[in-house]
Structure 1
């Protein structure tokens, strides 16, 4: 039995996995959707990049989880990639869902300088997207309304603080899920990681938020990762 720790991307909380969790549990696995500090029901809690890494490590250790599959969507690929090496032999594998990946000494914002302006204009937070920003991503109007209603401002320090890695990310056993409506090719850093024999690529014909647009299909890919 695998224990999935599920971490959604910017602005979202554990609720984003509501349609994925039952599929994993029905297959006999543990599923632990996690809200990171400063978001959703933890809004107001001070948070930096390493806070989010520790949130993930704490979840694993608090429940004494073994055979852990860390799942990170979008922004959260950065903290799960760091947490993966910190939980040691508890880790089974990592699944990056159309996500960023950490690079030692670099932050989320390192690859996206215009974000600095957004943080300055929003009191140090990254403002949630509007409904129009979700068009063309395979989402229904109901999906979009749900995402917009549940989103909260994302703490800026988690985006500006650098990642800390003590070993090459390519050494992790990993699956990378590329959502094709958000671009047909992974980013250059992910393409390089995929040359490792420990990484595999899976594509989904949907947009950047597959836990809403194709939750059953996403769950099946996660279940396949547990068998790998």
Structure 2
């Protein structure tokens, strides 16, 4: 199965470099995506541009792909399921909850001169970054890509309620499946509350398991893909 991989803010397709070989060994076709505005200097790139790129990757897949979104990019994966509910085998959401229709994509950190730069580690102290040592933090910060303002302030648009019939696996890194279900039951994620088939699975990592736990993450994603291979 094709597995489309979408990394979160400040990352591009290279974030999956340690996950891709393992997924290939496990018999799948990983497709890490680098989207408009990710390292190409295109400050004019918009959220709609990024959604369109993900939908185009879905359309290009020979069968129904598993669409994987990480952190804020779970909203991109979910938008693809909304745009192509009949063509997406499942969505895996790593460490994030999708924004609902009419909500801003990721407008929660300062923007400077048209870009949202990586803010440093202070906002992520605690479970998010506990498994990143000093060297890993320095490498991450040095490679972090600023995100265009029109992406982070873009408004999510969801129009097809058939998206709720697409199976969703919520991968829980810095929080537990029990916590995730509590938050959803409390109304913190109206989108996931309406999903017909929602699985919450644990992974022992911080917020960036593709960097700190690539082999366990690959095994988990391969298992999800295998589960939906015949859908």
The answer, yes or no, to whether TM exceeds 0.5 is yes
CA 1:45 to 1:160, structure 2 compared with 1: closer, same or farther past 3 Å? closer
**What SS class does the counterpart of residue 44 from structure 1 fall into?**
coil
Displacement of 1:135 after TM fit?
Answer: 4.8
Q: TM-score when scaled to structure 1?
A: 0.85
CA distance in structure 2 between the partners assigned to 1:211 and 1:173 by the alignment: 22
Give 5+ residue unaligned stretches, structure 1: none
CA 1:102 to 1:207, structure 2 compared with 1: closer, same or farther past 3 Å? same
Which residue in the other structure is 1:218 paired with? 217
Which residue in the other structure is 1:94 paired with? 91
1:1-228 superposed matches below 5 A: 2-40=1-39, 42-44=40-42, 46-61=44-59, 63-109=60-106, 112=108, 115=109, 118-119=110-111, 122-131=112-121, 135-136=125-126, 137=129, 138-168=131-161, 169-180=163-174, 185-186=179-180, 187-188=183-184, 189-190=188-189, 193=192, 196-228=195-227
Q: TM-score when scaled to structure 2?
A: 0.84
User: Larger % of helix: which?
Assistant: 1
The count of residues paired between Structure 1 and Structure 2 equals 218
CA distance in structure 2 between the partners assigned to 1:217 and 1:131 by the alignment: 24
Deviations 1:28-78 (A, max 9, x none): 1101101111112x23252111111001112233x4431201000011111
CA distance in structure 1 between the partners assigned to 2:176 and 2:132 by the alignment: 12
Q: In 2, are the aligned partners of 1:170 and 1:199 still within 8 Å (CA)?
A: no
Displacement of 1:86 after TM fit?
Answer: 2.0
Give 5+ residue unaligned stretches, structure 2: none
CA distance in structure 2 between the partners assigned to 1:25 and 1:142 by the alignment: 28
Question: What root-mean-square deviation, in Å, do the aligned CA atoms of Structure 1 and Structure 2 show?
Answer: 2.4
Deviations 1:156-182 (A, max 9, x none): 111222111113453221101111269
CA 1:66 to 1:43, structure 2 compared with 1: closer, same or farther past 3 Å? farther
CA distance in structure 2 between the partners assigned to 1:183 and 1:177 by the alignment: 8
**What SS class does the counterpart of residue 89 from structure 2 fall into?**
strand
